[in-house]
Amino acid sequence: MDEPTDLSDLTTGDAEIIRGEALATMRELPTASFDALITDPPYCTGGTYSSDRVARTAHQKYTDSASSARQTLPDFGGDQRDQRSFTLWCTLWLTEALRLVRPGGQALVFTDWRQLPALTDAVQAAGWRWRGIVVWAKTSARPQPGFRNDCEYILWASNGIIDRDHQPPCLPGVYTVASARGRNRHHITAKPVDLMRYLVRTVRQDGRILDPFAGSGTTGVAALAEGRRFLGIEAAPAYAKIATQRLAE
């Protein structure tokens, strides 16, 4: 997490990963240089009580102790903010992201049920126009009394009015895609490539996508598969390496 921004980690071509801190790195990038922000930030969730959320590691929150994911996948930092600092921090990086996405471009930002109210506040406080919520039905969740929390959410927002030319056609608001598992799980909170491919298709062909919390690079893998360009930023060196390898493959 404390690694300095290292622009030498750039790969060449249509997809790049920068190993560095998101906000500091974004401040170095030129205004209006992206068509979309598509990102899955640390949720800072994973517990009923505030103490659960801030005291436990991402591994402890998001993997089972006996699982192979706990044994084989690296942990990551930045997931221990309390509620107020999470909202403030999201407002900071979402403000910077608004500068980087051209007018008329879009944002798609993942969150869960606990952080949905905080993130909708942050998106709007940062100056994005909030347009809706897309549901990812992930088909599985930990058992618990009452309703299963087997969905995550994607906030949809735009930088002002969406271009008429690039306005996506009418799309479903719910996507049912199984969570990444086994050999397809490259991050402890990985998103499935097939879900990300649906999302990147909302960006114009050859458009450039920013993911400042790239993790194992799933957004970039989907972007390349769909003929879009990509810049990812990732603070954890182990995940920046995995992402760079996946994009190279």
Ligand X SMILES: C[S@@+](CC[C@H](N)C(=O)[O-])C[C@H]1O[C@@H](n2cnc3c(N)ncnc32)[C@H](O)[C@@H]1O
The answer to whether residues 189 and 180 touch, using CB atoms and an 8 Å cutoff, is: no
Of residues 52 and 160, the one with the C-beta less far from ligand X: 52
Least Å distance, CB 48 to ligand X, is 20
Least Å distance, CB 205 to ligand X, is 23
Within a 10 A sphere around the Cβ of 17, how many other Cβ atoms?
A: 27
Of residues 157 and 188, the one with the C-beta less far from ligand X: 188
Closest CA to 135 of 105, 155, 157, 106: 155
The answer to whether residues 37 and 97 touch, using CB atoms and an 8 Å cutoff, is: yes
Of residues 22 and 36, the one with the C-beta less far from ligand X: 22
* Bridge partners, residue 109, by sequence: 39, 155
**Assigned token pair, 120:** 């909708």
Task: Please return the burial class of 177, using the count of CB atoms within 10 Å of its CB with bins 0-12, 13-18 and 19+.
Answer: middle
Of residues 42 and 207, the one with the C-beta less far from ligand X: 42
Least Å distance, CB 232 to ligand X, is 9
Strands of 174-176's sheet in order across: 15-19, 229-234, 208-211, 34-39, 101-111, 151-158, 129-137, 174-176
Of residues 120 and 216, the one with the C-beta less far from ligand X: 216
Within a 10 A sphere around the Cβ of 91, how many other Cβ atoms?
A: 19
Least Å distance, CB 6 to ligand X, is 12
CA separation for the pair 244, 249 (Å, rounded): 9
Of residues 37 and 236, the one with the C-beta less far from ligand X: 236
Q: What pairing do the DSSP bridges indicate for beta strands 208-211 and 34-39? A: parallel
Least Å distance, CB 215 to ligand X, is 3
Please report, as ranges, the residues that interact with ligand X according to CB under 6 A. 21-22, 40-42, 76-78, 186-187, 189-191, 213, 215-216, 218, 233-236, 239
Least Å distance, CB 162 to ligand X, is 24
